[in-house]
Each structure stands twice: as C-alpha cells, then as structure tokens.
Structure 1
Amino acid sequence: MPAHTDVLAVILGGGRGSRLYPLTSMRSKPAVPIAGKYRLIDIPISNCINSGIFKIHVLTQFNSVSLHRHITNTYKFDAFHTGFVEVLAAEQTPTSEAWYQGTADAFRKQLFEIQAARVDHVLVLAGDHLYRMNYSSMIAHHLKTDADITVAVQPVLTEEAHRFGILKREPDGRIVDFVEKPKDQATLERMKSREDGARPFLGSMGIYIFKITALIDLLTEHPDYDDFGSDVIPHAIRHRPVQGFDFEGYWEDIGTIRSFYDTNLKLTVPNAPFNFYDSKAPIYTHSRFLPGSIVTDSRIDAALITEGCVIDRAEIIHSIVGLRSLVGAGSVVKDSILMGADYYDTRPHDIPMGIAEGCHIEGAILDKNVRVGRGSQIRPFPRGTELDCGSYVVQDGIVVVPKGTILPPDTRIGPSA
C-alpha cells in the first residue's frame, strides 16, 4: 500500500480512564490488555500501519510508563524507513507548566512537534477503541471534498442516540449541526440524517482529519477551546467546511468495565464481531517468544487461550486466558478474563502465581500477576452492584481483582460470601 507521506497520525493516549478502574490504577487506558495478548493502543497503531500511515505520534500523560515501554519495545522501523511511532509526553515548558487540559489542549501544547512533521493533514485518533479501519478511504474522501475537517461517523440506533454526540449531515455530506447526547424528542427529530427507520442518526466516532492549516488556526485563535468534541468541532461546523465520512464496520468504545468485559468475552466464540486473525490487516503487538500452551485432561469450551499457559485438569468456559496463565487441577473458570502474568514465577512462594487447585472463578476479571489460593471462590454480583473492598472491586456486578493481588486460600467473594 502506498504510504501517506503527507499525513501525520496523532493518537490520544493520556486519559485517566477512571471508569476502567482498577485496571487503570497502575497503567493508562490505552495500555490496558485486551484479547489476552494485545493492548488497546495496538489497535490504532496497527490501523495506521495497515493504511500506509507511518508518521505516528502518541500523546501521553497519566500512568504512562507501561504504555511508553510497550510502544518502544514493539514499534521499531529500520534505518531505511522514514516512519516513526513517537511518544509525546506531557511536559513543563517555558510557556506552560500545566498538564493537558483536554484533547485539543494536548495538541496545542505539542503544536511545535506536530508542525515539525511537515505534513498537510493530521489524523486524530483515540487510544481506547476496538475497530479495524483503513484510513485511506477517509483520507480520499477528505481530499476529494476539500474539507477543512472530516469526521468519521457511524449510524446510530434510535434507542442509542442519547449515548453519542449526534451530527446532522446535509445531502452533500457537509455536517451542519452537532448535539452532545440529545434526549428530547424535538432535538432528535431535527438531527435525523439517514433514511433508515432503525438507524436514522449519525454519531461521531472521535476520529478526525484536519488540514494542518485549519488545525493551527483553530487551536491558536481559540486558546480557551480545550476539547475537540465539546469545543473545536462544534465551532468549526458553524464556520468551516466539515464533512462526514461513513463507517459501518464494527466499532466499540472500551470506556467502562462492563464494555471491556463484554467486548472481550465476545471474542471467545466463532464469528466474533471483531477478528484479530485478518491476514491482510493484522493487529500488531509486542513479540514474545513463548511456548505453546499445555492443556492436560481439561474441558475447554468457547475460550480464547494465548501462549505460554498451563491448564491442568481444569474447566475453562466462555473465558479469556491471557499470557503465562496457570490454572490448577479441579478449578473452574467461567465467564471470566484472566490477564495472565508478566513473567513466570521461579521463586518459592506460599501461593504460586495464577489460580491454584480447586478454585471457582466466575464473572470476574483477574489482572496480571494475581495469585489465587487453593479452594477460593469468586462469583458475580447482581448487575449494578458497585463495591471497593481493597483486594477486589465490583463494577456493575463484575468482580475485578487488581494487578499483583494475593488472595489467600479459601477466599470467598460473591453476593453470599
């Protein structure tokens, strides 16, 4: 695929991700593991590479060490390649000592580096969405219409419209109105853009292409505009040519523990809505030289099992089993996500890494390097339950065990514990 040498991709990777707590207590949201072996940041970077975009900046700020390490270890172009994947961390400068105040403010504070890439267009991406998209089609639409800004839009169901920023588009493709999460019926009627009874609305996906000149003007002329979605785009719609580009493929915003949990478990079945196995547009990640997994006398059904695991006489049902996971004899893992481990545990320990013998894990997310003692039980709470119990957190009924937690033998977690 020809490289888009006149396009710079900038991925927003600095959010606090409080709705994904405790998965974000020690890492930024784009660094959260997904599908057992990837990280969320791998999605937009892989989409860029598969689209021929090789100039990539990642803006980071909060809990960013593991994200920096992953990007540095994973995305390396050789000396004969002009591309780069470069981290731009929040920093104090002579003109500003403040953190990024929003998505647009992050761009404003890094405007010198963005201009130094010497491109004509800037592609703005989020670091926490799951989708596969060839940006070349969007770039072609942007160039053909000579828009200052092009916004990727997706058809939205009537009953889902209140969750999105809804855009009104004219027949010529120009976006003329924007309402954030509309609720009243009159506004909904006004914002219909499609002749589709089920999906009459267009929602913003948070993916934008700017002419570099328009981006510079908007950021410098309006220094109080801190956010693209709330400030810059609504203003630009009123004063500049802004186009909408249709995307009807799978797209999921991994913004909450519930969406993270549901999205992961959908990957365990045949014909999953998102396919990590597309040979023409693969999702890249850090190469690990791990052995194949060993499974002994176990029942496995609708499970995604990654490399380096050892499963001994256990039952794994509708679950994700992450890298280097160890599941002991007689244990049951059901409707759960095991993120695995960063390393193999070679030192003696009263409770070995992973899940010991005779455990029952259901409706849970176990972050990396968790140790679950023999005979422990974890069961889900009713939906809507919210608890913070120190060694575990319950979000919308899902039990989340933070990274590195040690659960003693015969631990009981659940509504009747």
Structure 2
Amino acid sequence: MRGGPSVLGIVLAGGEGKRLMPLTADRAKPAVPFGGTYRLVDFVLSNLVNADIMRICVLTQYKSHSLNRHITTTWRMSNLLGNYVTPVPAQQRLGPRWFLGSADAIYQSLNLVHDEHPDYIVVFGADHVYRMDARQMLQQHIEGGAGATVAGIRIPRVEAPSFGIITPASDGVRVERFLEKPADPPGLPDDPERVYASMGNYVFTTKVLLDALDRDADDDRSVHDMGGSILPMLTEAGQVQVYDFDQNHVPGETERDHGYWRDVGTLDAYYEAHTDLISIHPVFNLYNREWPIYTHTLQLPPAKFVAGGIAGESMVAPGCIISGQVTQSVLSPGVIIEEGAVVQGSILHDNVRIGRGAVVRRAVLDKNIVVPPGATVGVNPGRDKELYHVSANGIVALGKGQRVL
C-alpha cells in the first residue's frame, strides 16, 4: 500500500472443485467462467487490486493451464512500479511432493515472502463471488494488534452445518474457537440467531504466520490447512480476531448488494449466483464502476439480434448472434441462437451454438457445445439424468465440448 505498510497478497487457487463437475473436468475451479465474461479468480484479484494491494502471488496446482493463461494474459501490472500478479505453480521446492493443503502450499512457497519482506500477508481464496475492500480488514488487524484476522460473514444459525463457524469471545472480536460444520453452535453475542461463517479470507502479521507454518510443517498429525490447522493453532494461542464482513463498505455499493458473498462450490450455488445478476435491481451488481471487476476482453463485435431474435431479463456478451428467444439467461461471447430456438433460465459459455428449433431450459452448457436442431436439454428430466449430469435442484450441466444427443 503506497505510503503505508508493506503488504503481500497470496491467493489460494489450487482447488479441484469436485462438486462443480463437469465444469471443473478440464480446469481448476478458479478458472471456471462466470457472469458471461469473467473467471471466478477475477473477483478476488479485482478486490485486492482495487484495495491497492498490487503485489499478488496466485498459488495454483490442479489442472492449472487455463488459469495460468488467463492470469498471465489478463493481469498485467506496472513493472515500472514493481507491481505484479503472478501465478505460482507447485514446484516441489521442499522435496518430491505436491501441496498437502493450503497451509503447505504457502509453506512450500515461502521464497515469495522472503523475497518481498512484507509487514503483513493477505491470504484470500480464489473461488467466491463478492466485493470487499481488504484495506478496511487490514486496518482493523493493525489497530487490534492481532497476529491473525479472519473475515466472517453473518449467516442464520440453522445454516451452520454447511460452513466452518467462528465463535467469538464476549467482546465480539477475539476468536475463541473454530467449529467445523457444527450442528448447534452458539449464536453471536449481539445476535443469538446468527453465527459467523469463515469466508476463507485472512490477514496475518508476517512473523506470526511464518512461525505458525514452521510449527505446522513439523506436525505429522496436521492436515496442513489454513482454516483447519493454522487458524485453530493461533486461536488457541489467543492471537486471532474476527472481522465482520458486514462492516465492509466499497464505493458505489447499493443497499441491495451490500455484504453480498457467494460460495459457488456446487453446481446449484453456481447457477443461483448467476440468477443474482440478471434482475432489474440485481442482488449482485456487476455495473458498479467505482469498484470494477476486471477481466480480459475479447476483440469481438457487439451482440446482434436478427430474424426476430429477442432476449429478456438476460445478459448477452459481445459476439453473440440471437435469432431465437432467450429469457433469464447469461450468454458468454460468441454464443449463437438460431431461429426458432428457445433458451430459458440457462448459462451458456463461450461459442455455444443452439440449433434451429432446439429448446434449452435450466441448463449450464460449457464451451463449444452444439445443441443440434430440434434437440432438447432440460426438458425431459428422466432422459437428461440418463445422458447428462443433473444437480440436486435439477440443473442440467454439460462439460466442455460434450456431445448433445
């Protein structure tokens, strides 16, 4: 941060994303397309860069080619000022093994920290959809004198079994313990029916993190995970505080999208996050120019609507040609909807083609899929389950280039 403490950003982007299959069959979860023109990793990188954290290492591992290529072609910072966003693949620097967990990923990459000598290290996950000013979290961390600060989002207590839960002390700031997906956790001191779910975003004083990583590496019983190993260790030592995400405000936010955060770890969550984009007053507003989400923009012509083609309550990227009917959908660049085709409540990735008279409903179609003329996807539930991946909520998903019968 210019004129302030030295900060290094580390983004954990090695996730396999099994629950998001088939979209992660050929790419890491942070590289999954989102919102028509973005990748999931663009959200965390945009948040850090907008917060003036300009030196960022993205730790990758699982099927990382697509992610590495996106980062290197999109996130080009000023070399003159010493700023950078760089992907860092698993390098086996400490022996012939891959990353054992998120803490081990940082431990094996400590050369990055030693090169920069930062005062503080910001460690964020790479696969959530949200806006956040990390400067405000860092400021609380510094003022509170904590060794580590974890971002917590308030959720109803009944949803706790799906999250890692932070239990604060009576002062509402110091963390007493972490509970992994508890059935009946205690409520917050000021709101008994809500709890803090960990967002997977952390700020560390550098020396505290380095010492914790050293101790964790020597513990054969550890799972070597940031949330499962490092934070509980530091909590036991009384060095962790919680940052209430509801206190975070970004320029240009609205009352409706303030505090928005989505974990898109499942196909249904991924689908629902897209529905949050397309209303007149969206739950998550991509059009906030004061806190933009950055990405790589292809050199394509504007979207074109011909032969009576229409799109309502939808987002349509450049390069699309619409001759059919599209409603409540998100279309990525280069999608073609032929005459008589109907697309309802669907997410179509780059270069998908929907043939004449075909029908697609409540579906997610990955890149380069061709739906033949007259074919259907999402219309016949029994047949779809036999042929394709279908989520618990009935969303039909086809992987990259998958053939439609």
Distance 1:234 1:386 in 2: 44
Aligned amino acid, residue 202 of structure 1 = Y
Shift of 1:404: 1.4
Aligned amino acid, residue 287 of structure 2 = Y
- Secondary structure of 2:71's counterpart equals helix
The equivalent residue for 1:217 is 211
The equivalent residue for 1:329 is 339
Q: 2:319 aligns with which of 302, 308, 316?
A: 308
Aligned amino acid, residue 105 of structure 1 = D
Contact preservation (8 Å) 2:13, 2:58: yes
Shift of 1:231: 1.2
Shift of 1:69: 0.5
Contact preservation (8 Å) 2:5, 2:119: no
Contact preservation (8 Å) 1:14, 1:61: yes
Shift of 1:331: 0.4
The equivalent residue for 1:118 is 117
- Secondary structure of 1:209's counterpart equals strand
Distance 1:238 1:382 in 2: 50
Distance 2:115 2:386 in 1: 46
Distance 1:76 1:40 in 2: 17
Q: 2:309 aligns with which of 293, 298, 304?
A: 298
The equivalent residue for 2:251 is none
The equivalent residue for 1:32 is 32
Aligned amino acid, residue 335 of structure 1 = G
Contact preservation (8 Å) 1:151, 1:243: yes
The equivalent residue for 2:329 is 319
- Secondary structure of 1:86's counterpart equals strand
The equivalent residue for 2:399 is 402
The equivalent residue for 2:133 is 134
Using the aligned pairs only, state the percent identity. Answer: 35
- Larger mean Cα displacement after TM superposition, 126-135 or 300-309: 300-309
Q: Structure 1: 5+ residue runs without aligned partners?
A: 342-352, 412-417
Distance 2:52 2:227 in 1: 26
The equivalent residue for 2:242 is 244
The equivalent residue for 2:275 is 265
Contact preservation (8 Å) 1:4, 1:52: no
> CA deviation digits over 1:329-369, x for unaligned, max 9?
0000001100122xxxxxxxxxxx61110000001111011
The equivalent residue for 2:375 is 376
Shift of 1:320: 0.7
Distance 1:83 1:386 in 2: 48
Contact preservation (8 Å) 2:172, 2:188: no
Distance 1:3 1:63 in 2: 38
The equivalent residue for 1:227 is 225
Distance 2:5 2:371 in 1: 50
Contact preservation (8 Å) 2:37, 2:297: no
- Larger mean Cα displacement after TM superposition, 172-181 or 356-365: 172-181
Distance 1:37 1:99 in 2: 31
> CA deviation digits over 1:290-347, x for unaligned, max 9?
11100121232211111110001x1111111111100000000001100122xxxxxx
Contact preservation (8 Å) 2:216, 2:229: no
- Larger mean Cα displacement after TM superposition, 49-58 or 158-167: 158-167
Contact preservation (8 Å) 1:318, 1:336: yes
The equivalent residue for 2:255 is none
Contact preservation (8 Å) 1:340, 1:354: no
Aligned length: 386
The equivalent residue for 2:163 is 164
Shift of 1:386: 9.8
Distance 1:267 1:120 in 2: 37
The structure-2 alpha-carbon separation of the partners of 1:118 and 1:279, relative to structure 1 and needing over 3 Å to count, comes to same
Contact preservation (8 Å) 2:166, 2:197: yes
Contact preservation (8 Å) 1:364, 1:380: no
TM-score by length of 1: 0.89
TM-score by length of 2: 0.91
Distance 1:180 1:381 in 2: 39
The structure-2 alpha-carbon separation of the partners of 1:263 and 1:14, relative to structure 1 and needing over 3 Å to count, comes to same
Please state if 1:194 is matched with 2:205.
no
The equivalent residue for 1:415 is none
Q: Structure 2: 5+ residue runs without aligned partners?
A: 247-258
Distance 1:165 1:75 in 2: 31
Alignment of 1:89-100 (within 5 A): 89-93=89-93, 95-100=94-99
The equivalent residue for 2:59 is 59
Shift of 1:372: 1.2
- List 4+ stretches of structure 1 deviating above 6 A: none
The equivalent residue for 1:174 is 174
Distance 1:56 1:362 in 2: 40
Aligned amino acid, residue 241 of structure 1 = Q
Shift of 1:116: 1.3
Shift of 1:244: 0.7
